[in-house]
Structure 1
């Protein structure tokens, strides 16, 4: 065992022992030069019967964590393989596990549990969106650290694995009984994102009831049988999460996140209120029936009533200054009978997401996707309307999506399906079809290029990529009527592409004249944009500060005639 006061790797000073498991000991250490506290996890080789097997698991765990960056996940700093032990240096997470909170205080407050659940959904959504997806598979209170600020961190990736299709051997007998999904045991199926949904549901059950599903009788009853004061909406969510058949659970973390954000709306009390409102609406329509003349007149008045209601809601939404009220009014407009196929409420939502804080959050994306998917049949009845909604949704993901800390590559790849829908459904003569094709092609390039390079199959992919960026620069970046943040995001994407792929562009036949023209277009357009907010000013200055290095990348790539034309 490591001694208190000793140095690990000459820089990590052991301060105290903070935990011990069957195979490992965890210490708190400090790097005195950096004045930073770390956690040091030591596995002694002489204390483990089959150390090589254990080491393989540890290596798999550290390899996964090294690739990740999320505020609710720990970071791996160093891995040290000595003669006596295997040591992992990672973030030191202050606080205690939720398991300890349950031991000390029992069932946790419902509102607090729901906030933790949203954070864990965000983590799972991040893991599942990796390429390949990472399935965590051991969600439980003991693996969730509650920090002093009230936020949570997911720890212990010992059973996490990268998803491999039809790989049943890797999904046998992993996880903790009671929390683990049925498909994790006995070769009953393959673990995927829905497995983590089950584990999170079981964890929520434990947190709000105080009843441990890994202890006899190993059952999860509806939570209100344990505590009638709990929400029936939350009860329905947990029951859906923990269905034995994965097809009956929430199918993604985003879908579960949306349900948690709106758990009150599926609560019995809320439904009763809505029924009373519906009764009032029906009464109004009934009065119209009394004064209508014949069936034709009845239909006319009902349609007119729906139209008036829709227009009033749209007008109120446009005037609303409170963001939440605006979003609620647009949602109510979509729900008006026979109006779900109208485009204006969806476009109003999209504009509201942009104007609120120039960020399209995962919660907002789940909300918009649900509205569109629930009403897709009505929307597709008018291809022109549906195409416009898909195009604007694609742009929303491309320029504003905040998943993965707003990474431009993540944004581009997240938008592919929407632009593909534009391509597949656009009526003849649709004016933005070429732009949709360019967006989709660029997104696919970023999605596939790492694999193409690994398989030496990337030649010929860079020239179309370059041409598509040029298409967007000339049609959007130069358009002074377009929003400044859209123009700046596009200019930065183009600049970054030149800096990263100048040599590849040259190898695919892009001439120095062509790439120089793109560079000067970026520089001159950037100079012409008058920013109006601190955020866009910072974005403009950030791109501007990198132009010199970008020009150097061009000069370095085209300094000889080898590999391309001048």
Structure 2
């Protein structure tokens, strides 16, 4: 064990111990050359030369692999030092806790959190599997996954990862890594312990399924085996039970065949949950009943007076005024629906619905379904006035972008983001912003184009990363983020200001190395981070949700600046 304040490698001063395992101790250290903190893992002096060679080989394999990776969920190894009878590994310092320590302290985790972690892990595993030479991690388990305070997942310990030369089944040849049958019992797939079997992406899928099983139930898969999760916790989702069961089948051919498929199933698991589906149907039927009843009540209000003047019931202005004057949300909504049916070319009923839906900062699934069905019904008529259509498209896009809280679009989102719900909103808003931007005479066409371009980036970047064709996409995105922050500064709307700030800070935290590769200077990134932070600081929050959003931006400020600084440190630790 190294004493505190010891200097390793003539530059890394040991500050404090932050972790300990059977073969190693992890310290927080300060780099005197760069004034930067790193994590340093000390490998205990192993007297057995054979075992020591295996340890050194494992660390060398890990370092050689990781130095070629560029994914926000994979911390870097930047230095290997042999000194004072010990081997020291210098790596990115990740603030957070392992999922195993969280499970040990808190017990089984919330279903939504576990699904979110699973989707993030699918993304990083899919990145590894889709490389030119696929990398099989082979050691997915809670102790090899860290969770940052911001909720981001980090995959650690590539000691037994295997890089293969070609992905054609049994003929796959190992390029880097020990090709023996290695893995952790309980989490490792059956083929990892079979001399005649080979490993591939489906091996990691099994281990991830076993990891999620453990996090959901608290039952160790080695000690108790993997059983349907609802046998242990009946309150868990039937749909999620089916997903975990498929991922952990003994036959690889019966599992999900890629992590993209696994992620899709995790995003859609509630759709397979019969109880949830019935509840949604019942809720929607109840909503329709309320809306219909409201219309009937409105039509009958005034009794004989209304019957004596039938024309009034079909008068557009009458129903618009009823919507404006009625304090009951369902009745007002029904009145605007009626007005839209009477005058299908008018955008005013939709604009009033947008005001209603965003008043509580929550555009729900039920509201979205009614609004979308009404809009689809009259879209042909609404398009007849090009400028009105552009205005309505823009306002609809902003409603989705900033206020949509539903689950339907979230199920279609990619997994490479820190806030899946945000990117679900962006995805849902995309086409509406494109509609608005298409009308060059529309007063907010340029701003709509900013939104549309940001949406395009966020919906297209993950496939481009997986294909290795994302170079050159980040500089235009950086410009659009600057434009978004500038536009948000002119807004009085608190939701818009805080969301723009958080989106920008998240992008700078996730993609700083990509921005750098596209020629964005460090100071330019810091300037944008400061602008986003200032935007949030100067925004007055008037609700608990806005307080949380403002707090999120404040908490993201320093990690974002750290990520930017880290992006300008090369693999040898030299500042650029």
TM range (shorter): 0.5 to 0.7
Q: Distance in 1 between matches of 2:408 and 2:100?
A: 37
Superposed displacement of residue 105, structure 1:
1.7
Q: Structure 1 residue 255 and structure 2 residue 256: aligned?
A: no
Q: Structure 1 residue 91 and structure 2 residue 92: aligned?
A: yes
Superposed displacement of residue 41, structure 1:
1.4
**Cross-structure match for 1:37:** 37
Alpha-carbon distance change, 408 to 24 in structure 1, aligned in 2, over 3 angstroms: closer
Q: Distance in 2 between matches of 1:183 and 1:356?
A: 48
> Which aligned pairs between 1:316-355 and structure 2 lie closer than 5 A?
321=397, 322-323=399-400, 354-355=430-431
Superposed displacement of residue 20, structure 1:
3.1
Q: Distance in 2 between matches of 1:208 and 1:141?
A: 12
- Tell me the alpha carbon deviations over residues 488-519 of structure 1, each in whole angstroms, 9 at most, x when there is no partner: 96999xxxxxxxxxxxxxxxxxxxxxxxxxxx
Superposed displacement of residue 531, structure 1:
9.2
**Cross-structure match for 2:469:** 411
Alpha-carbon distance change, 532 to 40 in structure 1, aligned in 2, over 3 angstroms: closer
Q: Distance in 1 between matches of 2:199 and 2:85?
A: 35
- Tell me the alpha carbon deviations over residues 263-300 of structure 1, each in whole angstroms, 9 at most, x when there is no partner: 211111134358889999xxxxxxxxxxxxxxxxxxxx
Contact preservation (8 Å) 1:183, 1:195? yes
Q: Structure 1 residue 195 and structure 2 residue 253: aligned?
A: no
Q: Distance in 2 between matches of 1:167 and 1:531?
A: 43
Alpha-carbon distance change, 41 to 543 in structure 1, aligned in 2, over 3 angstroms: closer
Contact preservation (8 Å) 1:173, 1:184? yes
Q: Distance in 2 between matches of 1:43 and 1:122?
A: 30
Contact preservation (8 Å) 2:162, 2:179? no
User: 2:222 aligns to what SS in structure 1?
Assistant: coil
Q: Distance in 1 between matches of 2:21 and 2:77?
A: 19
Q: Distance in 2 between matches of 1:24 and 1:61?
A: 15
Alpha-carbon distance change, 159 to 353 in structure 1, aligned in 2, over 3 angstroms: farther
Alpha-carbon distance change, 205 to 34 in structure 1, aligned in 2, over 3 angstroms: same
Q: Distance in 2 between matches of 1:29 and 1:279?
A: 60
User: 2:469 aligns to what SS in structure 1?
Assistant: helix
- Tell me the alpha carbon deviations over residues 114-172 of structure 1, each in whole angstroms, 9 at most, x when there is no partner: 11112111211221222211111111111111222232211111111113442488554
Q: Distance in 1 between matches of 2:375 and 2:145?
A: 43
Question: Does 1 or 2 have the higher relative contact order (CA < 8 Å, sep 6+)?
Answer: 2
**Cross-structure match for 1:2:** 2
Superposed displacement of residue 328, structure 1:
5.7
Q: Structure 1 residue 155 and structure 2 residue 156: aligned?
A: yes
Contact preservation (8 Å) 1:25, 1:43? yes
> Which aligned pairs between 1:102-501 and structure 2 lie closer than 5 A?
102-164=103-165, 165=167, 166-167=171-172, 171-215=179-223, 217=224, 219-272=225-278, 314-315=376-377, 321=397, 322-323=399-400, 354-355=430-431, 401-403=460-462, 410-411=468-469
Q: Distance in 1 between matches of 2:519 and 2:228?
A: 58
**Cross-structure match for 2:24:** 24
Aligned residues, how many? 351
Q: Distance in 2 between matches of 1:94 and 1:122?
A: 21
Superposed displacement of residue 544, structure 1:
11
Q: Distance in 2 between matches of 1:256 and 1:325?
A: 24
User: 2:13 aligns to what SS in structure 1?
Assistant: strand
Q: Distance in 1 between matches of 2:430 and 2:469?
A: 15
Contact preservation (8 Å) 2:137, 2:204? yes
Contact preservation (8 Å) 2:202, 2:258? yes
Q: Distance in 2 between matches of 1:398 and 1:276?
A: 37
Contact preservation (8 Å) 2:187, 2:221? yes
Superposed displacement of residue 242, structure 1:
0.5
- Tell me the alpha carbon deviations over residues 232-279 of structure 1, each in whole angstroms, 9 at most, x when there is no partner: 111111011101111211111111112222221111113435888999
Superposed displacement of residue 36, structure 1:
2.1
**Cross-structure match for 2:483:** 534
Alpha-carbon distance change, 357 to 154 in structure 1, aligned in 2, over 3 angstroms: farther
Contact preservation (8 Å) 1:171, 1:184? no
Q: Distance in 1 between matches of 2:143 and 2:379?
A: 45
- Tell me the alpha carbon deviations over residues 356-375 of structure 1, each in whole angstroms, 9 at most, x when there is no partner: 799xxxxxxxxxxxxxxxxx
Contact preservation (8 Å) 1:23, 1:47? no
User: 2:188 aligns to what SS in structure 1?
Assistant: coil
Alpha-carbon distance change, 314 to 191 in structure 1, aligned in 2, over 3 angstroms: farther
**Cross-structure match for 1:506:** none
Contact preservation (8 Å) 1:400, 1:411? no
